[in-house]
Structure 1
Amino acid sequence: MQNPYPIAALNLNHWFGTCEAKKQALFDINVEVERGSLTVLVGPSGSGKTTLLTLLGCLREVQDGSVQLLGHELNGANGSLLTSLRRRLGFVFQAHNLHNSLTARQNVVVGLQVHGTLPPEQSDEAASHVLGLLGLGDRLDYLPANLSGGQKQRVAVARALVGNPDVIFADEPTAALDRESGGNVVALIKRLGRERGTTTVMVTHDNRILDQADRIVTLEEGRIVDKSS
């Protein structure tokens, strides 16, 4: 029977290293994520938050246990399935990973090309729209070198959102942003959840945005110690 949740982990364990250097990073993780919700992973540095995020987002191989993403089992999944699933996802990481030779708008258009959701003639319009929603309407043709760190982060957020992904995985997306910009990013993500059923899993140390979370999952030393709604 297919899992009703867009994301679910069951008895998930993970290790780094081999032989004597092998160290367990996650222990018996069990969690489900509701469709359209904003789930926030919190905990001290080294608690396993980013490791869990990358496993749920099929960016890291599942070693032991089960991860189901959008109705597909990731443990043992082949490369073609993983590639097709990634096209349905949006990713935001602390490193902006922008193309330095492309403008803000062109960087966002790259996100549309990955998803393949719009014909080329509509891509510029869609990229401009989402950048405008994030307060960058006057920076569309700026190269990354001419943007501040916070502006570059908002371009990276726009690139993740523009293809209307089924799921967004975000690692510290507001770390480089001031209170207003960070609040606008999270508000936009929440709106996508309400209007389009977009599911978001976010790692953060930013206590300013916790009150917007539908669910807070707390990790300590690789274990879930609290799951509160």
Structure 2
Amino acid sequence: MREPAIITEGLDHFFGEGEARKQAIFDVNLKIEHGKLTILMGPSGSGKTTLLTLMGCLRHVEHGSVRLLGHELHGAQEAEMVHLRRKLGFIFQAHNLHESLTATQNVMMGLQVHGRGNADKQIRAAHHMLGLVGLSDRLDYLPANLSGGQKQRVAVARALASNPDVIFADEPTAALDKVSGRNVVDMLKAMGRERGTTTVMVTHDNRILELADRIITLEEGRVVRDETA
């Protein structure tokens, strides 16, 4: 029986040095199973995004343990972190699109980072993903000519196009209307069912909570509630 997609044990995290040193994460112990949609909730400053970045190889684990897809992140070398990131998808509230590239080219960049297919296959895959997020009529648009919600949907398509093992999402529906936000989360749920993709999402969006397999609530860096649907 394979181990969970993500395991944290005794995870602490600190910011700053000396007298300015402040603890942001306190003794977090979690097991997140493959194929599930887990939502991290809590007030601003509760440690949600910090925890997400520790689990997602975007911040070094210095105290305690994080095992991601069977790899220990505490003490991991940068080369191993880069290797792991290629198995992940990231969706952030700031869409981080390249302004000089079209929607199709932005999605293709996600495929190129993962080394998936030749140019023709990448174009077809990009068009397919953009169609799934409702942007078939915006394939050749630059970000400057897209609305905030459309930019976010391009970012979602980019993250999902490479079929990642784990998706880390920080407020992915914040710029989306109710229908678009629901559609994005439905896609993530479907990827969990059909492909075994694991999703960990930070959100304040109460409209999508019913879709979660699990809701973990943090306050002041501590897990205070852990509910399974």
Query: Normalised by the shorter chain, which TM-score bucket?
Result: over 0.9
Aligned to 2:223: 224
CA offsets per residue over residues 165-196 of structure 1, 9 Å max, x none?
00000000000000000000000010000000
Aligned to 2:62: 63
The CA deviation at 1:121 is 1.6
Cα distance in 1 for residues equivalent to 2:66 and 2:24: 16
Confirm whether residue 154 of structure 1 aligns to residue 153 of structure 2.
yes
Cα distance in 2 for residues equivalent to 1:118 and 1:189: 23
AA of the residue aligned to 2:13: H
Aligned to 2:9: 10
Point out where structure 2 has 5 or more consecutive residues left out of the alignment.
none
Cα distance in 1 for residues equivalent to 2:2 and 2:82: 21
Cα distance in 2 for residues equivalent to 1:3 and 1:211: 28
TM-score w.r.t. length of structure 1: 0.98
Aligned length: 228
Cα distance in 2 for residues equivalent to 1:181 and 1:209: 11
Aligned to 2:106: 107
CA offsets per residue over residues 122-153 of structure 1, 9 Å max, x none?
00000000110000010000000000000000
Confirm whether residue 31 of structure 1 aligns to residue 46 of structure 2.
no
Give aligned-pair identity as a percent.
Answer: 68
Cα distance in 2 for residues equivalent to 1:80 and 1:18: 26
SS in 2 for 1:138: helix
SS in 2 for 1:61: coil
Aligned to 1:198: 197
Confirm whether residue 51 of structure 1 aligns to residue 46 of structure 2.
no
Cα distance in 1 for residues equivalent to 2:24 and 2:109: 34
Cα distance in 2 for residues equivalent to 1:85 and 1:130: 23
CA offsets per residue over residues 60-95 of structure 1, 9 Å max, x none?
010100000000000000011000000000000111
The CA deviation at 1:119 is 1.9
AA of the residue aligned to 1:70: L
CA offsets per residue over residues 10-65 of structure 1, 9 Å max, x none?
00000000000000000000011110000000000000000000000010010100
Contact kept in structure 2, 1:105 and 1:124, CA below 8 Å: yes
AA of the residue aligned to 1:209: I
SS in 2 for 1:59: coil
Cα distance in 1 for residues equivalent to 2:169 and 2:100: 24
Cα distance in 1 for residues equivalent to 2:208 and 2:159: 19
C-alpha RMSD of the superposition: 0.9
Cα distance in 1 for residues equivalent to 2:143 and 2:34: 34
Point out where structure 1 has 5 or more consecutive residues left out of the alignment.
none
Cα distance in 2 for residues equivalent to 1:17 and 1:117: 39
Aligned to 1:79: 78
Q: How does 1:209-220 map to 2 (within 5 A)?
A: 209-220=208-219
Cα distance in 1 for residues equivalent to 2:2 and 2:47: 24
Cα distance in 2 for residues equivalent to 1:37 and 1:108: 24
The CA deviation at 1:120 is 1.7
